[in-house]
Structure 1
């Protein structure tokens, strides 16, 4: 794994994304995009009061996401769109929260846009769950996806859907069947929120490294190489959904691989 000198040198750069004994760091992010006409949330992280998750620390959380959004000037009520890179449990949690024991949507004025292929896959997956991780995904679908479907808040879209002049989806399959990344473009600048097409900066140096949760690992590698090549070509900003420390940087070519430049 290589880092540009502008990232602060070896140990400082590694401290952003890995411990000194080589354990990778990761985090889980939700994003807000504001355009002249839209207020958009991208992915809704782990959520509150959720149970049945395979990582013990993900259960019964009380994260103050809604409070933080409000404090930042983005209360739930004016949010008009919620986008999903995919429907894994760490990307859909704040679709709902508990109110008097019932899972209800906090983004009640938002259309929740889900790629049709991803929704179909996870709906079938949840309906046929029998054990292990399948039950965990079924639990997440039941408490975080099914309620917004039943409330009529979901619109299914294609994997290259344009939300506005500034925001569109990019098909980045492999991690899940209908996985997408989110591109924003404004004032001559471009940025891409990766979702799980890139989990960690180490995959810039080694695009062939895959996640155990990739549905189609070979496709995920092809997708990652294509996305990184495109980002390196025009120096677009990469925004990592799971990047700990600095969440965004520029992709540079490094021989047959890539590296991340973290701007000041």
Structure 2
């Protein structure tokens, strides 16, 4: 299965506040927008994006105040090598919440929060546009099952791991992915804890070549039949991993101007 991590979706309480935050602090541009019945979806990303770069999808449902859980961890955005301290200082001067500064993270990375409390890691990279999505972290209750899900169902490969005394991080990505593409970080805590998903984090989206053929392949590989293509007007579909994280399958029409399939 050929696929690319297309976007990660988060839900926000105040659309204009969130858009303003990401546009001010990350210099994101609105890539596309869809106004539905009682909801709005906006795709955001840096001004210059690699063709394989993932976008951030912000969803606002009118009258709803999303609840954070701990099953979803964070998104990570790239900053240039050697600029972490300067970037963090600038964000603090701009009024961003001081959550975990570089010093507390050994000078290797840092964390901030957006207006809805979504955690955002700042990671130093020598590739990819500044502020582009580097990875999305999700917490899993069984590392073997999680790695098996991504390698068997989607044919992803493990591209990195860090095993500490109390937890481990495993990074997976499509085969032959460009450095600019986003990865998925699977975090496994050894103490057997369970997690609450909440609804503030939405889903990961995988862009595929053929929606129906790839969905059929996933079903043959025993992925969960959550929302099949026919339930979604044959425009997209949803499965879930072993921990209940939602994963969208989407095929875009390259002949249209819109990023949305409808």
Taking structure 2 as the reference length, the TM-score comes to 0.30
Higher strand share goes to which structure? 2
Between 1 and 2, higher relative CO (CA 8 Å, sep ≥ 6) is seen in 2
Higher helix share goes to which structure? 1
Taking structure 1 as the reference length, the TM-score comes to 0.30
